[in-house]
Amino acid sequence: MSSRSPKAGRLSGLLKPGRHVTEEDRCPTRRRPALFEIVSYPFPGETSMPLPDTVIRQTHLRAPKGIVYGPPGVGKTSFGASADRPLIIDCENGAAHVQCHRTPYLASWPEIQPWLDGLAAGGHEYQTVVIDSIDWMFRRIEEHVAGVDGTPTGMKQTLNRSHGGYGNGRQVLKNYVYQYLLPILDRLVNSGVAVLLLAHAARRSLTTIDGIELEKYAPEIHPDLANTMIEWSDFR
């Protein structure tokens, strides 16, 4: 009777010159685990939808959106009033001298927001919404985020000290812009209503890589938000 074990018998056929015995050879049922596995689960109550079905393959017309900025008195409001069936969102009480359709003077964010919501809901005749001006609208959002409400206590509030301090208020302000303002303006544009942002201009100095000092005009908005609105716009 052979003294070799069954295991040794299985290995004997594998022991050939130049061949290395692996762990899988010793235990054929043991397999090396995969490095990763992609599993897709549909949301509850949903059936999975192939993503290619949502790909847009054709161009389509969309209402324009842009920002126009300049010094005070240059005619920004008159330019906005010359657009196609415009409604001016008056955030700075500067449209009274212009013959146009305009909102009442909106002196706080709680007064401005219902107008944006109502216009985005549709059911109106206007083809252009003119924000006059976007820098004053940002100021109203900033006051709302900081808790400035006109009371003696509220007048002492600042954006940097709000929401626990450490600059958290600035992040909350960005949340209002990215999560509400831009989406609501996009709803207007996608529904066929053009959006025109008017802004005051500030002169800013910059130095080129060659060390040349230059001056340029830019929207009088915090640089982070100004860059965001310029990138969002089709024209400026």
CATH number of residue 156's parent domain: 3.40.50
- pLDDT tens-digit series, residues 138-158: 999 999 998 888 888 888 888
CA distances from 61 to 82, 83, 124, 164, 235 (A): 22, 18, 20, 45, 16
- Total domains in the chain come to 1
**Which amino acid belongs to residue 224?**
D
* Residue 48, domain member (yes or no): no
* Residue 38, domain member (yes or no): no
| Both tokens assigned to 138 | 């940002």
- Give the H or E element holding residue 23: helix 23-26
- pLDDT tens-digit series, residues 7-45: 555 545 544 555 555 555 555 555 555 555 655 566 666
Name which of 51-55, 90-94, 114-118 the model is least confident about. Answer: 51-55
* Residue 52, domain member (yes or no): no
* Residue 183, domain member (yes or no): yes
- Give the H or E element holding residue 200: strand 194-207
Angle of the 134-146 helix axis to the 168-176 helix axis, nearest 10: 130
| CA nearest to 150, candidates 194, 193, 213, 107 | 107
pLDDT in the model for residue 45: 64
Residue 152 structural domain: 65-232
- pLDDT tens-digit series, residues 111-136: 999 999 999 999 999 999 999 999 99
* Residue 42, domain member (yes or no): no
Please list, residue by residue across 34-58, b when 16 or more beta carbons sit within 10 angstroms of its beta carbon and e when fewer do: eeeeeeeeeeeeeeeeeeeeeeeee
* Residue 87, domain member (yes or no): yes
| CA nearest to 130, candidates 82, 175, 163, 166 | 82
Cβ proximity of 140 and 110 under 8 Å: no
- Give the H or E element holding residue 234: none
* Residue 10, domain member (yes or no): no
pLDDT in the model for residue 20: 56
pLDDT in the model for residue 11: 47
CA–CA separation, 199 vs 80, rounded Å? 11
For residue 198, what are the contacts with CB-CB under 8 A and spacing of at least 6? 67, 68, 69, 76, 77, 79, 80, 130, 131, 132, 133, 134
pLDDT in the model for residue 80: 95
CA–CA separation, 23 vs 31, rounded Å? 9
Report which of residues 94 and 6 the model is more confident about.
94
* Residue 136, domain member (yes or no): yes
| CA nearest to 170, candidates 159, 161, 178, 184 | 159
| CA nearest to 193, candidates 101, 64, 80 | 64
